[in-house]
Structure 1
Amino acid sequence: MISKPKRAILRVSAALASLGLTLASGACAGLNEQKTSQGAHSQQSGPIEVVASINQWGSLAQEIGGSAVHVTSIVNTTSVDAHDFEPKTTDIATIQKAQVVVTNGAGYDQWAQKSITKNATSISAAEAIGASTGDNPHLWFSKDARNAMATELKETFCRKMPDSSDAITARYNSWQKKENALEKSMKRFAKEYDDAPYAATESVAYYLLDDLGLKDKTPKGYARSAAAEGEPAPADLQAFKELISSRNVDLLINNTQEASDTTNILTGTAGRSEVPVVDVSEQMPEDVTTLTDWMQRLLEEVRKALGDFKASEATHRKVDTNQRQDNADSGANGTTNPNAGDSHGTGDANNGGAPSNEGQQDPGK
C-alpha cells in the first residue's frame, strides 16, 4: 500500500490537478465560442468512442459524458479477476479503435495501456494523482483519484465535443455535488469511528478505509504475502487468526474476487468470533451504476459492521467474566476447564466451513 508520506504527495498532486481543471472549467464552456472561427468541419460529429479498461472508470466516463460519449468497458463483471485478465484479440481491437482510452494504471491494467494508439487520447488514474507501479492500484476507492479523473474526463470530452461542452460541464457539476455529499458523510463517519481497527484479507479497499479514518491492523507478514499474491507463512496466518479470535479488530474486509482456502479460514474465524465481515469486490457490482453510489453503499455496510461489533461487545465481556469464574472454580476443585484459553469458542480456524472470500493484496508496499 502507499505509505503515509506518499499518500500526502498524491493528495497534493490531486489537489493541484483539481484546482487547475476547475480554473479551466470556464475555458471548457468557452470552447463553444471558438468553434465559429475553427469551422464546423473541425467539430466531433458523433458520440466520442471511449474505451475503459475496467468498469469502475468506465462508469465515471459515462456519468460525465452522457450522450456525448459511447463507453465500452473491457472488464465489466465481478466474475473476472482484473489482475490475471488476458484480453482477447477483439478487446485489443476495440481499444485500438477508441478515440479516448481510460485506464487505471499503477500496474493494474498494462495490457490496456500497451494497446493505446498514437491517435487516441489516454487518461490514466495513476498519472492523474501521481501513483506508480508498486503502489496499491485500487485507485477508484480513493476520493482524490475520483475527483482527479472526473475533471480529466470533463476537460477531454469538452475539447473533443465543444458543441456539447455546456451539457458535459453540467453533468460534471452534478457529479461533483454527489461526490461532495459523499465526502461530507465520510468526514462525519471518520469523527465517529476515528482509528477503529480493521484487518483485510487483501488490500482492495485500503484507500476507502483510509478516507474513513480507520486503522489497518493486518499483520505485516500476511500483508506482504498477499501483496505478492503468494500464500502466507503458517506463523503469519496464525497471527492473523489470533488477531481476529481475540477481537482486536472491529471488522474484517474480504475481497470476494480473490477467494482461497486461506481467506475461507480467516472469514470462518471471524464468524466464530463474531467479528463482522464486509465483502468488497474489485470490479463494480452489477447492481450499482455509479462509483459514488457504490462508495456510499460500502460506507453504510462498514458503519453497520462496526455497530454490530459494538453491540456484541457486552455479550463477549459477559462470556469472558463467566469463563474466568469457571476457571477459578475449576482450580479450587482441582479440575481443569477443557475450554480454558478459548473464551470465544474459536478453536482451530481450520475446522468447519466459512464464508468464502479471498486473500491477495496487489502491488502494495
Structure 2
Amino acid sequence: MTVSGPEARAQGREGPPSPRRHRDDRVRPRIRRRPARGRRPVPRGRGHGPDAAPGGTGRGQGARGGRGHPRRLSRGAGLPDDPDRHTRLPSVAGGGGRVRHAPLRAGVTVLALLAASACSADRAPGSEATVASGDPAACPGEVLDVVVSVAAWSDVVRRLGGDCATVTTIAASPAGVPDDVVPADRAAFAAADLVVLNGARYDRWAVRALEASDGDPVVMTAADVADDDAARPGPQLWYAPDVVPAVAEAVTRELAALSPDAAPYFDAQHTAWTAELQPYLAAVAALREGSAGHTCATTLTAWGPMARAVDLADATPSGFRRSLRSGSEPAPEDVEAFETALRAGDVDVLVHDGAAEGTTADRLRDIAEDAGVPVVEMTAFPPDDDGFVDWQVTQLAAVAEALAEEG
C-alpha cells in the first residue's frame, strides 16, 4: 500500500457530479494524508492478500429454458417506465435450443469485427471495444461469442470462459461507457451467443443496442441474479460481494448450456476461479470485522454496495449521495454539510473517486487531509493491468489499513 501526497487522479467515468473530468484509468488505491510541514510523504509497499486459496463450490444444473434461465430479449421491448426499477428483459415464449452452424458463426464474428473496426470513428477516443479471443484448438467444445457490457464484469467472464469463449467488452474502461448505441455495438450483440449485462439501469444503452440488433443471444443480468434488491445503495453490482459469486455461477451455468461438450471444462474453470476468489472474500470479512464503530464518507458512487456489505456506517450527507447517483451537481447546502462532517471528526475515512477532478471534489479531499481524515482513492472499474480479485483486495486492504490507523 502506498502513502503519498496529492497526485494526479486517474480512470474514467463513474457517474459523479458534473464539474468532474476524467483521466487515464490506471489509478491505484492509496491512503492520502496531509504530510507534516517540511516533510514529504514516504511510499510504502503495496499490500495484497494471497494469490489464491483452495476452495470451490458446486453449481446448480441449469438447463436452457429451465427455471432461473436468463430470458431472451423480445424485439422492440422497452425499458421500464419506473426509474427506480431495475432493467428487466421480458421473456419470449418457446425458448428452445438453437441449431449451431460453426462456419456461419465464424463468418458472423468476422463480419461483426469488421463492422466494429469500420464504425470505431463513431466512438470517443479510447472507448473502442476490446476482444479476448478463445482457442478452438484447446476448447473441448464450441467456442462461444460472449459480449460483456462493462469491463467491471469482463475479467470474471474471461476467467470463467477461458479457451472456450471469445469475450468482447463494449465499455472497456469507464471513460468508454457509451451514452448511446453505435453500429459497432449492434454488430457485436448480433454475433453473440451470450450477453452479460450489469442491469439495474446502469447499462441501459446496452439494452437499446440489443433491441436494435438482429441477433438472438441469451441475455443474463447481474441485477436478476441479485434478485432485484431495491434497498441496495447503488447499481454497481460488482461492488456487492454477495452478487459476485452468484454472477460467476450463473455465467458458468449458461456457458455450459450453450456449449454442452465444454461443460466439464467450464465447471473446472468455475472451481479454479472460486478458489482464486477466496482472498477477496477474506478481505471483505476482515474489513467487516474491523469496521465496527467506524464511519466513512464517499465521493465514489460505486462504493455504496460494499460499504453496506461490510457494515461501515456511511456519513455521506444524504443529499450529496443522491446527487452522486443521479450525476447531478450537489446542492451548496449538501457540500457544506459534507465539509462540516469532515472538519467535525464525524468521518473516519474518505473513500474518494480516484478519477474525480473539479472544484467540489478537490475541496472535499483537501478538507479531509487538513482535518487528518485518511483519504483512500478508489476507482469504479479495475485498471487495465489488474484482474478483479487483485483490484478489489488492494482497495479493501487500503480501507482496512486506514481504519486500523484511526483506532
TM-score normalised according to structure 1 size: 0.69
Deviation of the 1:144 alpha carbon: 1.8
Residue 154 (structure 1) aligns with: 252
Residue 153 (structure 2) aligns with: 57
| Alignment of 1:300 onto 2:397 | yes
Determine the C-alpha separation between the residues in 2 that align with 1:56 and 1:235: 33
Indicate the SS of the match to 1:23. Answer: coil
Deviation of the 1:185 alpha carbon: 3.2
Indicate the SS of the match to 1:108. Answer: coil
Deviation of the 1:25 alpha carbon: 7.7
Residue 66 (structure 1) aligns with: 162
- Structure 1, residues 104-160: CA drift from partner, whole Å, max 9, x if none? 011111111222256201010011112279962110011121112101110111111
Distance 1:143 1:166, change over 3 A: same
Aligned residues: 275
Residue 60 (structure 2) aligns with: 23
Deviation of the 1:166 alpha carbon: 1.3
Residue 360 (structure 1) aligns with: none
Indicate the SS of the match to 2:235. Answer: coil
Determine the C-alpha separation between the residues in 1 that align with 2:229 and 2:203: 12
Determine the C-alpha separation between the residues in 1 that align with 2:275 and 2:303: 23
Deviation of the 1:91 alpha carbon: 2.2
Determine the C-alpha separation between the residues in 2 that align with 1:232 and 1:256: 18
Determine the C-alpha separation between the residues in 1 that align with 2:63 and 2:171: 34
Q: Give the partner amino acid of 2:218.
A: T
1:78-117 pair list within 5 angstroms: 78-80=174-176, 82=177, 85-116=179-210
Query: Does the CA-based 8 Å contact 2:352-2:376 persist in structure 1?
Result: yes
| Alignment of 1:76 onto 2:172 | yes
Determine the C-alpha separation between the residues in 1 that align with 2:271 and 2:101: 24
Q: Give the partner amino acid of 1:305.
A: A
1:303-318 pair list within 5 angstroms: 303-310=400-407
Query: Does the CA-based 8 Å contact 1:128-1:148 persist in structure 2?
Result: yes
Deviation of the 1:281 alpha carbon: 1.5
- Structure 1, residues 182-222: CA drift from partner, whole Å, max 9, x if none? 22332233222224100011421111222222111111122
Q: Give the partner amino acid of 1:96.
A: A
Q: Percent identity among equivalent residues? A: 24
Determine the C-alpha separation between the residues in 2 that align with 1:60 and 1:246: 41
Q: Give the partner amino acid of 1:125.
A: A
Deviation of the 1:305 alpha carbon: 2.1
Distance 1:132 1:25, change over 3 A: closer
Indicate the SS of the match to 1:115. Answer: helix
Structure 1 unmatched runs, 5+: 1-19, 28-40, 311-365
- The 10-residue stretch of structure 1 (217-226 or 100-109) with the greater mean CA deviation from structure 2: 217-226
Query: Does the CA-based 8 Å contact 1:78-1:285 persist in structure 2?
Result: no
Indicate the SS of the match to 2:175. Answer: coil
Determine the C-alpha separation between the residues in 1 that align with 2:406 and 2:194: 45
- The 10-residue stretch of structure 1 (88-97 or 246-255) with the greater mean CA deviation from structure 2: 88-97
Query: Does the CA-based 8 Å contact 1:49-1:100 persist in structure 2?
Result: yes
CA RMSD of aligned residues (A): 2.6
Determine the C-alpha separation between the residues in 1 that align with 2:313 and 2:228: 22
Indicate the SS of the match to 1:53. Answer: strand
Q: Give the partner amino acid of 1:22.
A: R
Q: Give the partner amino acid of 1:208.
A: M
- Structure 1, residues 36-63: CA drift from partner, whole Å, max 9, x if none? xxxxx86976410111111111211111
Indicate the SS of the match to 2:209. Answer: coil
For residue 203 of structure 1, the aligned residue among 281, 301, 305 is 301
